[in-house]
Each structure stands twice: as structure tokens, then as C-alpha cells.
């Protein structure tokens, strides 16, 4: 380890600070969301009472990104396995269970594949059933697909693409199948990291 590289203890403190920022941000977001929902319900009730036929109120929505959580997970992924286990244990002891669970899921998420070392990705790919991998990659971010195919032979990547196309053409998959496949890959990532 170079002298300029942060020590695992320093990284652990950084992770805890990032998770605190994430928790505070998430709490504020939830309060705001509840306030907007209450305001939207109030507006809808006023419109209905006024006899307006259109009582629909639109609020902003969509997926929220949590950069502090992703940053904490990225720092955790750089730790040696023993240090990572200690950090995860410390997070589990010091933070509320939902936040600790969210942190673990972020560290070992399917979407984290591009951030993992090539040897780890290759290990995960070797242990993943090919059909499960093809299902998991359906609708995946391009960076995840590129990380997977970059760690395969051209022939294997071409076969994977064909499998994905045939799965799409069959039309028999549900969104739940994709989520289950991604969870299976995530568990293999957790074992490999």
C-alpha cells in the first residue's frame, strides 16, 4: 500500500460519513415527498369540491439517485475483503437496519459489475448459469452489458447476445424473472468480492 493511499480505517470513517449524508438526504426526500403528496391530495379535493371534472394532479416522480450511498459502496468495494467485512459489521451495528441493508445491496448490486475488477467479473461469469445471465442482462444498463461481454470470449459474447434475443422473441419472461436473475448474480458477486 502506498503512503498516499487512505488506510482502511480512514475509508471506514468516510463510508460512515457518506451513509450519514445518505440517511439525512433520504429523510429530507421522504418528508418532501409526503408533503407533496398531501398538497396534491388537498388540490384534488379542492378541484373536486369546485366541480372541476379533471381532478388529476401531477407531481414529479421517478427513481431517485443516491450519490452518497453509491459513493460509500464504491469505497467499500476498494477495501480488502477483511477490512470490508469489518466495515460492514460496523455499519450494521451503528446504523438502522434498513440503511445497513441498503448499503449491502449497493455494494453487491448487479449494476456494480462495471466497477468490479476484471478477475472478479470473470469469476462471477464462470459461476453464473448462462440463461440466468442472459435474463439478468435484459434491459440492463449498457455499462453492465459492456463489462460482461468485455470479460468473455467473442464467441461466448455472441452466444449470450443470441440467447438474449431469443428470450426477448419468446415473450415469456416477466419483469420478476429479470429481478430474480439479477438477485442471483448479485449473490454471486457478494461471494466473489
Q: Would you state the cell numbers that stand for residue 71, as one nine-digit string?
A: 459513493
Same domain? For 84 and 133 the reply is no
For the segment 148-171, the average pLDDT, to the nearest whole number, is 94
Asked if residue 15 has pLDDT above 90, the reply is no
Q: Is residue 128 part of a domain?
A: yes
Q: How confident is the model at residue 59 (pLDDT cuts 50, 70, 90)?
A: very low
pTM for this entry? 0.61
Q: How confident is the model at residue 137 (pLDDT cuts 50, 70, 90)?
A: very high
Angle formed at CA 140 by CA 108 and CA 29, multiple of 5 degrees: 65
Q: Is residue 102 part of a domain?
A: no
Report the C-alpha gap between 67 and 25 in whole angstroms. 10
Of 70, 97, 124, the position where a domain reaches its end is 97
Cell 431517485 belongs to which residue? 64
Same domain? For 6 and 54 the reply is yes
CATH number for 165: 1.10.220.30
Same domain? For 176 and 136 the reply is yes
Q: What is the pLDDT of residue 60?
A: 35
Same domain? For 31 and 87 the reply is yes
Of 78, 97, 116, the position where a domain reaches its end is 97
Contact 168, 83 (CB under 8 A): no
Same domain? For 119 and 185 the reply is yes
Q: What is the pLDDT of residue 62?
A: 35
Contact 22, 66 (CB under 8 A): yes
Q: How many CB atoms lie within 10 A of CB 79?
A: 20
Q: How confident is the model at residue 29 (pLDDT cuts 50, 70, 90)?
A: confident
Same domain? For 112 and 186 the reply is yes
Q: Would you state the cell numbers that stand for residue 91, as one nine-digit string?
A: 455499519
Q: Is residue 41 part of a domain?
A: yes
Q: Is residue 103 part of a domain?
A: no
Asked if residue 3 has pLDDT above 60, the reply is no
Same domain? For 186 and 156 the reply is yes
Model confidence pLDDT, tens digit, residues 70-115:
888 888 877 887 888 888 888 888 877 788 888 888 888 888 888 8
Same domain? For 88 and 137 the reply is no
How many domains does the chain divide into? Answer: 2
Report the C-alpha gap between 124 and 119 in whole angstroms. 9
Q: What is the pLDDT of residue 117?
A: 86
Same domain? For 12 and 68 the reply is yes
Q: How confident is the model at residue 42 (pLDDT cuts 50, 70, 90)?
A: low
Q: What is the pLDDT of residue 54?
A: 42
Domain that holds residue 126: 108-193
Selected residue with higher pLDDT from 54 and 92: 92
Report the C-alpha gap between 137 and 131 in whole angstroms. 10
Same domain? For 16 and 76 the reply is yes
Q: Helix 118-127 crosses helix 175-192 at what angle (to 10 degrees)?
A: 120
Q: Helix 142-150 crosses helix 154-170 at what angle (to 10 degrees)?
A: 140
Q: Would you state the cell numbers that stand for residue 156, as one nine-digit string?
A: 461466448
Picking from 61-65, 84-88, 172-176, which range would have the lowest pLDDT averaged per residue?
61-65
Amino acid at each position: 500500500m502506498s503512503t498516499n493511499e487512505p488506510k482502511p480505517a480512514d475509508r471506514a470513517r468516510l463510508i460512515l460519513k457518506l451513509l450519514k449524508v445518505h440517511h439525512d438526504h433520504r429523510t429530507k426526500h421522504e418528508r418532501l415527498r409526503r408533503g407533496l403528496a398531501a398538497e396534491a391530495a388537498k388540490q384534488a379535493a379542492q378541484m373536486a369540491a369546485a366541480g372541476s371534472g379533471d381532478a388529476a394532479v401531477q407531481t414529479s416522480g421517478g427513481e431517485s439517485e443516491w450519490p452518497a450511498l453509491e459513493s460509500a459502496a464504491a469505497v467499500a468495494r476498494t477495501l480488502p475483503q477483511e477490512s470490508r467485512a469489518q466495515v460492514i459489521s460496523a455499519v450494521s451495528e451503528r446504523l438502522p437496519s434498513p440503511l445497513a441493508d441498503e448499503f449491502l445491496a449497493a455494494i453487491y448490486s448487479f449494476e456494480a459489475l462495471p466497477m468490479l475488477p476484471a478477475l472478479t467479473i470473470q469469476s462471477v461469469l464462470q459461476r453464473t448459469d448462462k440463461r440466468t445471465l442472459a435474463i439478468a442482462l435484459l434491459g440492463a444498463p449498457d455499462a453492465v452489458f459492456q463489462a460482461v461481454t468485455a470479460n468473455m470470449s467473442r464467441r461466448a459474447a455472441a452466444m449470450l447476445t443470441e440467447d438474449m434475443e431469443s428470450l426477448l422473441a419468446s415473450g415469456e419472461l416477466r419483469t420478476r424473472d429479470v429481478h430474480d436473475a439479477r438477485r442471483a448474480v448479485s449473490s454471486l458477486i457478494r461471494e466473489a468480492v
